[in-house]
A and B are shown apart, each in its own frame.
Chain A
């Protein structure tokens, strides 16, 4: 209960940053636009369309989180409020978790709303598990991606001046996407074309083809359940490590001032 109250206060702080909302909502709509190919993602009633949308939501809106969350770990130290929070009977890790949970709850709201809308749309088109599947996709793919992007941002914000940190964290996010979500597909002419590889959890649980371009799906081996688990756990673990490092770095820099 106490954790929820702390998270709520931090959600309120994040909710009042209009730029955060605007960027997040705009990129969610862009994700929708990217995948709409004549039809909306729910009109077929096919879960693969929903999974494709979830993948877009895990790739594009985090660019906004990467740019916007640079203050996540450093602002308490910068404002001096970190000292007061440290003097309270709350474990620093719990407080940091509440801060991240509160901020993410706000920035993820547009993604969750759109995904759920599509889930309910699928329900209307015969996929009775649509809303539940949307929630699972959100929890396993969209939320961990947002957490990771926010962690990149928080770490960059703790290590670099704010303006540089925004560029650095967006660049880091795009580099991470390039390294993990693109797969080279040989072309008949002997060259190589890069296609978007689908998320292992979406492949395993919802049958999304390994490469999002159906015509190139033959080019990659489907992910195993173990790979799906490793993908989710790995993202969360990296994010937690980055957030912990960002917290330590911010405190150390604050102590030196």
Chain B
């Protein structure tokens, strides 16, 4: 699916502008959406899912304007959405919940719904608890039910908001592997604060700050934003002034800081930049 945003803006009453003149073409495949808190990521995703309407501008999905109700309905038929905070109905089993989501997504064939629900539960590693009520599940298991519901109906557009937040490292790796396998012909928009998740799964990344687009393009391009500006200091008692600290490692002599700065702090050595450095170089400017 090809999604195009044209001069998109969104205002909320008595709040800073959530999105400001956002123009962007989203290709198919995995797309990372990153930015600090309040950058407008969730608002953008809610607009893409047809839940919220933009104040200005328009969204085109395969060339069709989402302001038209019929287009929005058609998009929703091919959409999978995993919001940040979701607790599936605790009184249902995962199987029943996925079947319910299948019904909502317009899957009329009961046998196909059941087959797909079973297959997805297997994929997210919940097939052995498919008949236990969700209310007794751990946070990670509920999150897996969440991603399974987003995949019901084999969506062409998948929007996932902070899918790995609050998961333990093992769950996170499992999730990341699952997400990486989803790209291909679909468009997957992954919003996250965990840049490592983006580095590992997304070839394309968009950076938002204050509702505006800071960067969109290949992950390697974002890394390059910090090339020649990433340094590792010798052990210091305090972070160097005027530099953005990307990391700090305690040593017996003091703390060794990894910083992003135009001018190297005294005694600092250049370092190979990572996605995190590139992001900080862009956002902390």
Contacts and interface: CB of A to CB of B under 8 A. Distances in A.
B37 interface: no
Contacts of A90: 104
A86 B86 CA distance: 13
A89 B105 contact: yes
B88 A79 contact: yes
A126 to B, nearest CB: 44
B91 A87 contact: no
Contacts of A5: 103
Most chain B CB neighbours (cut-off 10 Å) among A12, A89, A95 = A89
Interface in B192-226: none
A81 B104 CA distance: 12
Which bucket holds chain A's interface residue count?
20 to 34
B81 A13 contact: no
Contact of A6 (B86, B100, B150): B100
B88 A6 contact: no
B134 to A, nearest CB: 10
B81 A84 contact: yes
A127 B91 CA distance: 42
Interface in B25-81: 46, 49-51, 73-74, 76-77, 79, 81
B92 A9 contact: yes
Given A13-B89, A89-B73, A83 B81 contact: yes
Contact of B91 (A12, A84, A95): A12
Interface in A7-35: 9, 12-13, 16-17
B87 A81 contact: yes
B103 A9 contact: yes
A87 B72 CA distance: 10
B149 interface: yes
A80 B134 CA distance: 14
Nearest to B100: A9
A221 interface: no
A115 to B, nearest CB: 27
A89 B77 contact: yes
7 tightest Cβ-Cβ pairs between the two chains A and B: A88-B104, A89-B76, A80-B86, A16-B91, A87-B81, A79-B87, A9-B100
Interface string A50-87: 00000000000000000000000000000111011111
Most chain A CB neighbours (cut-off 10 Å) among B74, B101, B150 = B101
A80 B103 contact: no
A5 B84 CA distance: 27
Interface of A: 1-2, 5-6, 9, 12-13, 16-17, 79-81, 83-90, 95
Contact of B88 (A1, A81, A87): A81
Nearest to B50: A87
B51 A83 contact: yes
A88 B101 contact: yes
A29 B101 CA distance: 37
17 contacts: A9-B99, A9-B100, A9-B103, A16-B91, A16-B133, A79-B86, A79-B88, A79-B89, A80-B83, A84-B81, A84-B83, A84-B101, A85-B104, A87-B50, A87-B51, A89-B106, A95-B104
Contact of A81 (B79, B86, B103): B86
Interface in B113-147: 133
A13 B93 CA distance: 10
B51 A86 contact: yes
A81 B106 contact: no
Most chain B CB neighbours (cut-off 10 Å) among A84, A86, A95 = A84
Contacts of B99: 9
B89 A1 contact: no
Given A9-B96, A13-B92, A83-B46, 8 more contacts: A17-B91, A80-B87, A83-B81, A84-B150, A87-B49, A89-B104, A89-B106, A95-B104
